[in-house]
Structure 1
């Protein structure tokens, strides 16, 4: 079962706010007015995710945002300020993109489930962040876009996450037109799981998080890693890989406990790694 709930707030200033309501870690982008993914915000987000990965207390991570926008993507003013450098900004541009890629990969590789809580616009790298999360739940007024093409900059790095969340032609529609899509279209495309009225967003997120937190941390870790690995494999190779994962999972202590609890009509007692 999930841990007894404990509550504490941490780091209630700066570009990233943390709130621990054990077993859920809530990370709130706090870089007004547009929650741009500046170097400072991405470094703070990466550090928080890496800390969560090592935690036995945290079972679910929620990524939310303060204000009216989820995130407008990279900080274009910050990036443009480096064009005056001798290299025209190349080193800073590469640092920015590689840091963003590291954040997205860390979300995918995190042993815990990560849920995007979206209320407002998620654009460019902000849309990439949503697409990188395991689940995404948004309000009915949220919008999503990859508008780089409108300013001569194709959203090539957001494309990586987007094409793994949405169907290929629908992802290309977003990338080629740069036009925003509404919440209903985002759900149809596969970018979000559910759409809820704004007043119920936190309630629905908390419900999802609490349900996931009751599951075996060992099984979730095994399953999440396997999910992303098999998705990149040909069908036969994916089945071969999944068979091996399933056998090892069956031999794991939590599977033995969970099956025993099911057959014995009792609640399972999950163990930490």
Structure 2
């Protein structure tokens, strides 16, 4: 099971559970994650949700190996179900009635970082980094752009998306992407503390507070995410993306000149 649920006190934890592959995201895993959110939403004793990863990564983002295999087996196959499901997952998180905390046990990359930033609060550790390396794979960090715009301005976002370079925990905290940095073995514990502190608050008031925080975004965020989905899907079927993904899988440097001249 990719999305493993555990409850403890007032918190419900969803662990991305594919450590061997860096907790990468595919359609099936995202559907399981979406169902886990729904299951915990119905638990009245759960005041907040913690999202974390197993192993050394929070999530490395899109399953590029599966995408590469899909492209090789059928170059005309334009199945982008994972992108479409990700739109629904991000909207579900933004509109969720309970607070969500991302406990970043390690790097959060690409769409994995977009998932992390859909939370209300992000707790990191020294092993945490946040990055959008899509441009280095011939892809577009369109979901990352939308989620970053909820927190930062264009001049701060542009270097991240155009260079593909990651921010370390300290840099992420200074920019406000991460609210606290704790020891590596304390990310979940600190996240749980935050949710336990909500036991003294009104669940209804917390839900309405979340609504106030995001209601100004709600009308535009869905359109923005659906537009991002379209852009990401288009980028997947360029020669540049085929070269970038192949280079990643083959662990070599991409030949952009050849891909660009053939477009």
TM-score, structure 2 normalization: 0.78
Distance 1:22 1:196 in 2: 21
1:168 and 2:164 are equivalent in the alignment: no
Are 2:228 and 1:206 aligned? no
Runs of 4+ residues over 3 Å off in structure 1 = 84-87
SS in 2 for 1:68: coil
Q: Secondary structure in 2 aligned to 1:165? A: coil
Equivalences for residues 109-188 of structure 1 within 5 A: 109-188=95-174
Give the TM-score normalised by structure 1. Answer: 0.75
**CA RMSD across the alignment:** 1.9
Closer/same/farther in 2, CA of residues 97 and 231 from structure 1, 3 Å limit: closer
Equivalent position of 1:248 in the other structure: none
| Higher relative helix content | 2
Long gaps (5+) in structure 2: 220-263
Deviation at 1:24?
1.0
* 1:72 Cα offset (Å): 0.3
Contact 1:31/1:41 (<8 A) preserved: no
Partner of 2:19: 32
CA contact (8 A) 1:64 1:117 kept: yes
In the alignment, the residues of structure 2 paired with residue 224 and residue 158 of structure 1 have an alpha-carbon distance, to the nearest angstrom, of: 21
> Which protein shows a greater Rg?
1
Between the two proteins, the alignment pairs up a number of residues equal to 219
Does the CA-based 8 Å contact 1:136-1:194 persist in structure 2? Answer: yes
Alignment of 1:72 onto 2:60: yes
Q: How does 1:58-69 map to 2 (within 5 A)?
A: 58-69=46-57
Higher RCO (CA-CA < 8 Å; seq separation 6+): 2
> Could you say what secondary structure the match of 1:83 adopts?
helix
Structure 2 contact 23–57 (Cα < 8 Å) conserved: yes
Q: Which residue of 2 aligns with 1:101?
A: 87
Q: Deviations over 1:51-98 (max 9, x none)?
A: 2223322210000111001100011122222225667231x2x31111
Runs of 5+ consecutive residues of structure 1 not aligned to the other structure? 1-13, 234-273
Give the conservation status (yes or no) of the 8 Å contact 1:82–1:88: no
- CA distance, structure 1, for counterparts of residue 10 and residue 189 of structure 2: 16
